[in-house]
Amino acid sequence: MSKELWKPGNMLYPLPVVMISVADKGGKANIITVAWAGTVCTNPPMVSISVRPERYSYDILKETGEFVINLTTRDLAYATDYCGVKSGRDVDKFKEMKLTPIPGEKVKAPLIKESPVNLECRVTQVLPLGSHDMFLAEIVAVHADKQYMDEKGKFHLEYAQPIVYSHGSYLATGETIGTFGYSVKKN
């Protein structure tokens, strides 16, 4: 197999693509699409998102220190893209995409009702890194849509058809090919 050498760059794909909802101190809500998001720690539960300082939601994040990560699905793909290319300075993304804001339990930023999972987050640290600043945050509440729970109480995110982002494209996730530990499981 032949390989081509490229200049250094982010090629860690696919990535979760999420809609981040925020609300300024006056209560005006906005949504920003982020692909630079990830798990940081289990205990305490922490995540990170990276946002460019010129984005409209950046100042809201800095001012309030709160946001909600809303997982995205095949049904939310169009809204996910729209919320990433349109600015909240110019449009009400909740209204334009017919998304339903619902109050959080622990933060003032709204949840997106149509998302199967919402993570309420409080910023603990902001790290300026270059083109983006990374917001480290503790997850203070998790909301899971009951329609994806089975009769035994197990949550099935796969039923929601989550999407991921890879090098400029949104991709649907596919079939389960294994579960954690299946490579060493005794028959």
Q: For residue range 119-152, list pLDDT tens digits in order.
A: 999 999 999 999 999 999 999 999 999 999 999 9
- Which residue in the block uniquely carries the two structure tokens 């081509």? 4
Asked whether residue 177 is domain-assigned, the answer is: no
Residues of the chain scoring pLDDT < 50: none
Asked whether residue 180 is domain-assigned, the answer is: no
pLDDT score at 11: 82
Q: How many structural domains does the chain have?
A: 1
**Residue 15 falls in which region: left (phi positive, over 0), alpha (psi -120 to 50) or beta:** beta
Phi and psi angles of residue 78, each rounded to the nearest 5 degrees, phi first = -65, -45
| Bridge partners (DSSP) listed for residue 157 | none
pLDDT score at 9: 83
Asked whether residue 183 is domain-assigned, the answer is: no
- Find the domain containing 49 and state its range: 15-172
Asked whether residue 133 is domain-assigned, the answer is: yes
pLDDT score at 24: 97
Asked whether residue 187 is domain-assigned, the answer is: no
- The DSSP letter of residue 37 is E
pLDDT score at 178: 87
Asked whether residue 178 is domain-assigned, the answer is: no
pLDDT score at 112: 98
Asked whether residue 144 is domain-assigned, the answer is: yes
C-alpha span between 17 and 49 (Å, rounded): 11
Asked whether residue 112 is domain-assigned, the answer is: yes
The CATH number of residue 36's host domain is 2.30.110.10
Contact 118, 68 (CB under 8 A): yes
